[in-house]
Structure 1
Amino acid sequence: MKIEVKCEVENCKYWAEGDQCVADSILVVANSGKQAVNERETICDTFEKM
């Protein structure tokens, strides 16, 4: 199943025109521990700087 993933981080090597993420898989983690209260407490570990 294909899922559309949007990303606004233009200096990530997986960023594509139209704010599309073109990574084969995405890893999102909590800033600390295994639980997050809101989106600000998460981070995309898939990010790789261009």
Structure 2
Amino acid sequence: MARDVKCNVKNCHYWGQGQECTASAIEVNVDGGAEKASYVAETNCHTFKAK
């Protein structure tokens, strides 16, 4: 499992120094509720929380 998760969303509550995600867990889902994604653009991070 990855220990270092990089994030470029500067207005996220969990965005940390060096573009590191400081959330204790990360949830990523497929748009539209599907179980498989064909492209990166079909996924999104549900861990995001605005600052």
> What TM-score, normalized by structure 2, do the two folds share?
0.89
Name the counterpart of 1:38.
39
Name the counterpart of 2:28.
28
Instruction: Give, in whole Å, the separation in 2 of the partners of 1:4 and 1:38.
Output: 23
Query: Over aligned residue pairs, what C-alpha RMSD do you find?
Result: 1.3
Give the 3-state SS of the residue equivalent to 1:43 in structure 2: strand
Compute the displacement of 1:49 (Å): 0.3
Number of residue-to-residue matches in the alignment: 50
Instruction: Give, in whole Å, the separation in 1 of the partners of 2:39 and 2:2.
Output: 25
Q: Deviations over 1:11-48 (max 9, x none)?
A: 00000011100000000000121111121110000000
Runs of 4+ in 1 over 4 A off after TM superposition: none
Greater per-residue helix proportion: 2
Matched letter for residue 40 of structure 1 = A
Any unmatched runs of 5+ in structure 1?
A: none
> What TM-score, normalized by structure 1, do the two folds share?
0.90
